[in-house]
Amino acid sequence: MKTRMTELFGIKYPIMLAGMNWLTTPKLVAAVSNAGGLGVLAGNHQTPDELREAIKEIRSLTDKPFGVNLTLGVGSAQRAPIVIEEKVPVLNYALGRPPEIAPLIEAVHGYGGKVIGTIALLRHALRSEQLGADALIITGYEAASHSGNVGALVLVPTISEAVKVPCIGAGGYADGRGLAAALALGAEGISMGSRLAATQDAEVVDAVKETWVNASEEDTVIDPAFDGINCRVLRNKAAEDLLEKKAFPLFDAISAGLHMKRVLKISWGELFRTANNMRKMPSGIGGGQRGLGSSMRFAVGSRLFRVALEDPVNGILMMGQTAGRIKDVPTVAELIERTVKEAEEILQNMNKQFAN
């Protein structure tokens, strides 16, 4: 199955792994790349040294193209230079402002790498294209974690008709039906988060994978209560507790901020800069309080997102509506082969059905 996405990145299938905090380990990234997709490592959740090690580990597990995802403004100043020094084949950025995005794209293009911008609004898509992004991930309302307010059915055709670069649909894709639909809507491939998280290659406890299999499409909630900007998560006890705490969670935030400082080994200056950046996040992806409350919730959320990967009851588990489409825990290779085969069958059958 060839599209401009497969040609741009030199991959076999138009499927990529969405960057997912501590979940996209080198093993999972390499599994996706080895299966013919594009594996992507979320690069904000390790120390800079650990990020470099993770990139090296991916290279020891695959000789295929892979990417690193960076949320700009959240420790990216220390991490982007590593992505560039290591000549990572694909950089996928989210958020950020033109003065940070433009030099980054130029630097990656300088060594022959490709850049994908993640967006959820038409105006951000146009801006990313103008800044030089080679492809765009269009995140629909169905997605786990941060998105805008518009669903894929409207957002994907609206943006893919307005830009020239290849578009990749994200949010709600779990199978061949989703891939075929994305292609019909004007995308040239899909990015899967939740679905690839519930695979044998994902290094999370079985309880987390079972949670994905057992959840329905109605079991998620989107709200700024979890990390300061609109974020879609599993509606569990921990999520209900945070939804009830509408006041500023000041003490939780201080303790979580200190925890984050320890995990990421960042200085006081970086901690305050990150908190300040959260206050000023551009609208589009997310949408929330954009004040001191956002920074506090970001700190609280970051800690609970990590807890969720070992304890999906007491942690906050980012989860897409696509949970309702996840019924098993296959290997990454099985899932990708199955998805492409299903999509091809659907497209061929529709062609036959309507050709008469």
Token pair in block for residue 228: 């300061």
Query: If you compute the radius of gyration of the chain from its CA atoms, what whole number of angstroms results?
Result: 19
- Interaction pattern, residues 146-175, with ligand FMN; x per rule: CB under 6 A: ------------------------xxxx--
Report, in Å, the least distance between residue 356 CB and ligand FMN. Answer: 35
Report, in Å, the least distance between residue 20 CB and ligand FMN. Answer: 3
Report, in Å, the least distance between residue 178 CB and ligand FMN. Answer: 9
Report, in Å, the least distance between residue 174 CB and ligand FMN. Answer: 7
Q: Which is nearer to ligand FMN, 248 or 338 (by Cβ)? A: 338
Residue nearest to ligand FMN (CB): 193
Question: Look-up: residue for tokens 């199978």?
Answer: 175
d(CA 147, CA 220) in angstroms, rounded, equals: 14
Its sign, for the CA torsion 116, 119, 125, 130, is negative
Helix (H) or strand (E) segment spanning residue 213: helix 206-214
Closest to 11 measured CA to CA, from 44, 47, 45, 39: 39
Quote the Cα angle for 41-43-47, to 5°: 130
Q: Does 20 bind ligand FMN (CB under 6 A)?
A: yes
Q: Does 329 bind ligand FMN (CB under 6 A)?
A: no
Q: 33, 34, 128, 194: which one contacts ligand FMN (CB under 6 A)?
A: 194
Q: Which is nearer to ligand FMN, 34 or 211 (by Cβ)? A: 211
Of 8-16, 27-35, 106-114, 193-201: span binding ligand FMN (CB under 6 A): 193-201
Say if residues 236 and 311 touch (Cβ distance below 8 Å). no
Say if residues 296 and 123 touch (Cβ distance below 8 Å). no
Of 120-128, 190-198, 223-231, 345-353: span binding ligand FMN (CB under 6 A): 190-198
Q: Does 144 bind ligand FMN (CB under 6 A)?
A: yes
Q: Does 295 bind ligand FMN (CB under 6 A)?
A: no
Q: Does 249 bind ligand FMN (CB under 6 A)?
A: no
d(CA 155, CA 141) in angstroms, rounded, equals: 9
Say if residues 291 and 279 touch (Cβ distance below 8 Å). yes
Say if residues 126 and 162 touch (Cβ distance below 8 Å). yes
Residues making contact with ligand FMN (CB under 6 A): 18-21, 23, 42, 69, 71, 94, 139, 142-145, 170-173, 192-195, 197, 318-320, 322
